[in-house]
Amino acid sequence: MRAAVSAPATGAGSQEVAPRGDDFIACWNGVLTPKWLRFRHLLSGGGKVHSDVALPRFGLRAGERVLDIGCGFGETSLEMGRIVGPSGEVVGVDCTHAFLEVAGRERDAAGLVQVRYEVGNAEVHALPADHFDVAFSRFGVMFFESAVRALRNAARALEPDGRVCLLVWRSLADNPAWAESKKLVLEYLPPPGDKGQTCGPGPFSWADEETDRRILAAAGFPRVEMFERIDRDICMGRTIEEAVDYQLLVGPSGEIVREAGDEGQRRLPEIRTRLAQMMKSHLRQDGVYLPSSTWMIVARKAPGPRML
């Protein structure tokens, strides 16, 4: 799924171009920001369902220093800030200014002085060497242009024997929350070509365990201590209409519609009707729920001398 530049629910398809370098950061600060703000309750809510399972398993302790990679709105930074307490530290890094503005306000309201945020691209952001005990990311590493580069940067910032704790989506096929809508839309439109516009790698780029282990080893985390799946239903909309909009603005279905151009717009009304019918079959009292699946991963930094 190329979550960054999915099609709008109505109107002409967007004309965003594939980002490179600074354009990647601009994409997050431009194309994605209004979508993520609009659907924060669903994006963060679905993430929390999985991190509520993983965080206790990750074993954070009072007094630890934690780097939150791609911290977004900072929900996980606040959760971990409460765990590590006043004697610990949490530093959240994200490239999206609007997300960190929200995160800063909510940190101040919570009174968690041990939590702070820095704007930057975690692939290259300057971090203190040998400083953190834990590098954490909930659904952040999948979007980096180079996950190896981002994790190498994190490894340099970790104490010897420090650990990285990750939550990443498994495959699209393992996530009916997005796959069912994509399958439906493909009944009407062809799949997008390989040159479709993106805002970098998508959320399913860490789906394959063998590939993930190679990435971790190349980044300086050869000792994988946990690699387990979490399966949970997540809310995809408080109403059927919101669930349809969410699929078409954030999910892979929207990419298909956008890439189909005029034909996509012509078929969009009937696609919306079919999506609404599908969402109705998953409707509960408090919203539309579908199955989702993630990996929770813990890996240990390779032993070696402290960085000078």
Residue 202 pLDDT: 83
Supply the CATH number for residue 108's domain. 3.40.50.150
Q: Looking at the domain assignment, is residue 288 inside a domain?
A: no
SS3 per-residue string spanning 200-233: CCCCCCCCCHHHHHHHHHHHCCCEEEEEEEEEEE
Give me the chain's average pLDDT, please. 90
The one-letter code for the residue type at 138 is R
Asked whether residue 39 carries a pLDDT value surpassing 70, the answer given is yes
Domain tally for the chain?
1
Residue 7 pLDDT: 29
Q: Looking at the domain assignment, is residue 265 inside a domain?
A: no
Mean pLDDT in residue range 153-169: 97
pLDDT tens digits for 263-300?
999 999 999 999 999 999 999 999 999 999 999 999 99
Q: Looking at the domain assignment, is residue 186 inside a domain?
A: no
Asked whether residue 10 carries a pLDDT value surpassing 60, the answer given is no
Domain that holds residue 46: 17-171+196-235+293-300
Q: Looking at the domain assignment, is residue 204 inside a domain?
A: yes
Q: Looking at the domain assignment, is residue 39 inside a domain?
A: yes
Give the confidence band of 198 by pLDDT, cuts at 50, 70, 90. Answer: low
- Nearest-angstrom CA–CA distance, 48 and 42: 10
Q: Looking at the domain assignment, is residue 247 inside a domain?
A: no
Q: Looking at the domain assignment, is residue 184 inside a domain?
A: no
Tokens of 123: 């692939």
Residue 43 pLDDT: 97
- Nearest-angstrom CA–CA distance, 176 and 162: 35
- Nearest-angstrom CA–CA distance, 56 and 250: 29
- The residues pairing with 229 across neighbouring beta strands, listed in sequence order, are 295
The DSSP H or E segment spanning 24 is: helix 22-27
Sign of the Cα torsion 264, 266, 272, 277 reads negative
3-state secondary structure of 25: helix
Indicate the pTM of the whole model: 0.89
